[in-house]
Amino acid sequence: MHDTENMEAEAEFEEGEEPSFSDPEDFEDDISDQELLEDVMRERPLEADGIDSVVVVDNVPQVGPERIEKLKNVIHKIFSKFGKITNEFYPEDEGKTKGYIFLEYTSPNHALEAVKNADGYKLDKQHTFRVNVFTDFDKYMTISDEWETPEKQPFKDFGNLRHWMEDSDCRDQYSVIFEAGERTGIYANDAKEAITAEERARWTETYVRWSPKGTYLATFHQRGIALWGGEKFKQIQRFSHQGVQLIDFSPCERYCVTFSPLMDTKDDPQAIIIWDVLTGQKKRGFHCESSAHWPIFKWSHDGKFFARMTQDTLSIYETPSMGLLDKKSLKITGIKDFSWSPGDNIIAFWVPEDKDIPARVTLMQIPSRQEIRVRNLFNVVDCKLHWQKQGDYLCVKVDRTPKGTQGVVTNFEIFRMREKQVPVDVVEMKEGIIAFAWEPNGSKFAVLHGESPRINASFYHVKNNGKIELIKMFDKQQANSIFWSPQGQFLVLAGLRSMNGALAFVDTSDCTLMNIAEHYMASDVEWDPTGRYVVTSVSWWSHKVDNAFWLWTFQGRLLQKNNKDRFCQLLWRPRPPTLLSMDEIKLIKKDLKKYSKIFEQKDRLSQSKASKELVDKRRTMMDDYRKYREMATQQHQEQRPLRLELRGGVDTDELDSNVDDWEEETIEFFINEEIIPIGDL
C-alpha cells in the first residue's frame, strides 16, 4: 500500500508539479525557534549591540557654525587618547550645538576608559565634562522611585598607618634589603641593638621605596607595585603595571607615578602611569622614550601640579583632572632644566644662550604663569638649580667661560626668595666644583672645590644684610659628597667609593671637626629623620665584599657594625611634618632641661642588657600586681552586700562609718610601782 502511494507521488513529481510543503490548516507548531535554530539564534544581533561603545559627553560648549570645527578638533584630541573614534555626532538646534555630543569607539573597553579618565575633565572655567556610557541611560531610566538602603560595604581596617610614631622611646624605623635581595626587613633603630619589626623572604623583586611621609612601603614585582602599611605591614594597595622599574610619589602621598619600558603603544600610552593611591585607579598614562632622567614628572610642594620637560616645551598639569594647566603647554625654546620650589608654587627654569640672546634663569608663579624674576647670564656652559629645603633661597650654579680667559669659572647666583623683587648675590670660584649642598633648615651652604688631593671644603652664611660670608674653609679633605643633617647645623663630608670611605663629622655652628673616621669602600650615607643618627654602608650592588652598614651618632661616635650577608640597601622611614607650631617648638627647646633628667635616666637604663632585663622584669611584676589588685578590688566590691548582711546592716568598710553609734570607754591598766627612798640618793 505504501509503495503504491510513493509511486504515485513520484509520477506526479515527474509530470512537473512541485509538491506542497505547507502545513495543514489545523496543524499546531509547538517547537520554538530557540529549540529549532539554537546555534543560529545564539549569534543573533542584540538591540544594544554597538551602543556600549558609545559615550555621551555633557557640558560641551555651545558654539555656532564658525567655531564648530575648532571644537571638534579639541574634542577629538582629548578623547582619541582613550582609543580610536569611529563616529562623532554633534546635535544642533537653531544653528548651535546643544551642549552634548555622542562619540563611538571601536571597542567598549575604550569607551569605559574614556568614562573613567575624562569624566570631570575641566575644559575651561565654565565647562567641566560629564561622561557616561550610552547604555547607562537605560539603567538610570529604570531606577525605582522608592528608596532602597544601600548595602553596607565592609570596612577594611589596615590598622594605624602611623603606629611607629607612637613608639614610647621615639625609635625611627628603616628598611634593609640583604641576601642579594632575597630578604627584606623593617627594623626599629636603637643605639644598643636594632629591634626587628618585620622580616620577609622575597618581599620585593628589585628594591623598596618609602612614600614621602613614611605612610607606605612600595615593593616591586614583575606584574606591578604593591603598597604596604600599618602595624603588621598589610597590603593596602596594588597597581598593575607589567615590567615596572621605577616609582615616584607626590609630596602629599595622594598620587604615585610608575614607569615600565614594556607597556607603551601608540594608541594606548602606558610607559608612565599616574595612579590614585587611595582608590588604586589609573588617572592617566603618558608616552616616554627614556627614563634616564627620572623622575620624568616633578611635583609642586603641595601636590596640586606636576610638570615635565620635552624639547622646547614645559608642560604643567593640574590635579585631580590630570589635564594641562590652561589647556596648553609653555613654549620655551631651548629649555634645559627646571625645578619646583619646595615651599611655594614657583617653578624655576633656565635657557642657554642663542646667538646674541643671553642665557637666562626665570622664576615663574604657578598657576598665573607670571614671571617674578628673570636673570640674564653670559658665556654660560652649564647651569644647575639647587633649592634650599624650605624654599627661602635658590642657588643657580653657573659654569662660565669668561672672554679672554682659559678654563671654567663657577658663579653661585643666590636668589633671596623671601625679599622684595628677589635680589641676587654672587659668589665666584675659579676652582672646579665637586659638590654643593644647602643647610636644610638654615641659611648656610657648603661647597667642595679643588682637585684631589687638594680638595677644600668651604662653608658660607647668607646674611640678612645682603652679604654672603665665608665662615670657614677646611683644606686637604678626602671628600666627594656632602650630607647635611635633616635638622641642619651638622654634616658629614664623605669620600665615597674611590676615596675609600673617609668621613669627617662637622659642627657648622662654630665649624669644628667633631671626628674623623673611615668606613672602607662606603657607597652610601643616610641620615635618620631626626638628625640624631647617621648610617654609612657598603652595598652589594656596588661592591661585592665587606657588605655591611654602620650606625654613628651625629658627633661621629660609632655605635654598631651590622654585617648582613650580601647587604644591598638601607632606607630610613621618613616622618610626616610636625604638627607643632614654631612657638611650641621654641618653648620645648627652652624647657629642654626639665626633660633631660628623664632622658638621662632612660639612657642609663638602656646602657646594658642587664638593666633592660631588670626593667622588663620589674614592669612585668608591676603589671601582675595591678591585675591582681584590680581583681581583688572587684571581688571586695561584689562581697559588700554579704558583709552588710552578716554585720546587721553596719557598714564597716570605712574607718569612720557609724560614728553616732560609738560609745566611749576609759580603761586603766596598773603596770608597775617602784618606791625609791630619797635618803639613799
| Residue 45 pLDDT level (bands cut at 50, 70, 90) | low
- The SS3 assignment for 372 reads strand
Angle subtended at Cα 284 by Cα 283 and Cα 289, rounded to the nearest 5 degrees: 145
Q: What local confidence, expressed as pLDDT, does residue 140 receive?
A: 77
Residues pairing with 57 in the sheet: 101, 131
- The SS3 assignment for 616 reads helix
- Residue holding cell 623622575? 295
Answer whether residue 298 shows pLDDT above 60. Answer: yes
Strands (E), 149-254: 173-178, 183-188, 195-201, 208-210, 217-221, 224-229, 234-240, 246-249
**CB atoms inside a 10 Å sphere around CB 447:** 25
- What mean pLDDT do residues 609-636 have? 85
Q: What local confidence, expressed as pLDDT, does residue 46 receive?
A: 52
462-499 pLDDT per residue, tens: 998 778 999 999 998 999 999 999 999 999 999 998 88
| Residue 168 pLDDT level (bands cut at 50, 70, 90) | confident
Q: What local confidence, expressed as pLDDT, does residue 497 receive?
A: 84
- What mean pLDDT do residues 94-121 have? 87
Q: What local confidence, expressed as pLDDT, does residue 681 receive?
A: 47
User: What are the angstrom distances between the C-alpha of 318 and each of 297, 299, 651?
Assistant: 12, 10, 75
**Percent above pLDDT 70 for the chain:** 89
Min mean pLDDT across 49-53, 209-213, 304-308, 613-617 is at 49-53
Distance CA 573, CA 211 (A): 8
Higher-confidence residue: 447 or 263?
A: 447
Per the prediction, the chain carries an average pLDDT of 87
Write the Ramachandran bin of 427: left for phi over 0, alpha for psi from -120 to 50, otherwise beta: beta
Phi and psi at 94, nearest 5°, equal 55, 45
**CB atoms inside a 10 Å sphere around CB 314:** 17
Q: Which amino acid is at 625?
A: Y
Distance CA 106, CA 53 (A): 7
Distance CA 375, CA 370 (A): 15
- Residue holding cell 554597538? 50
Residues 6+ apart with CB under 8 A from 285: 268, 269, 270, 271, 272, 273, 274
Q: What local confidence, expressed as pLDDT, does residue 229 receive?
A: 94
Print burial letters for 634-651: b (CB count within 10 Å at least 16), e (below 16).
Answer: eeeeeeeeeeeeeeeeee
- The SS3 assignment for 217 reads strand
CA 333 to centroid of chain Cα atoms: 33
Answer whether residue 49 shows pLDDT above 60. Answer: no
**Percent above pLDDT 90 for the chain:** 55
Relative to beta strand 85-89, strand 246-249 is unpaired
Answer whether residue 550 shows pLDDT above 50. Answer: yes
Q: All 3 cell numbers of residue 151?
A: 548595602
Sheet holding 370-377, edge to edge: 337-340, 346-351, 359-365, 370-377
Relative to beta strand 370-377, strand 305-310 is unpaired
| Residue 662 pLDDT level (bands cut at 50, 70, 90) | low
Q: Name the helix (H) or strand (E) containing 131.
A: strand 130-133
397-442 pLDDT per residue, tens: 999 988 777 788 999 999 999 999 999 999 999 899 999 999 998 9
| Residue 1 pLDDT level (bands cut at 50, 70, 90) | very low
Cis before 453? omega within 30? yes
Q: What local confidence, expressed as pLDDT, does residue 263 receive?
A: 66
Answer whether residue 287 shows pLDDT above 90. Answer: no
Write the Ramachandran bin of 352: left for phi over 0, alpha for psi from -120 to 50, otherwise beta: beta
Residues pairing with 298 in the sheet: 307
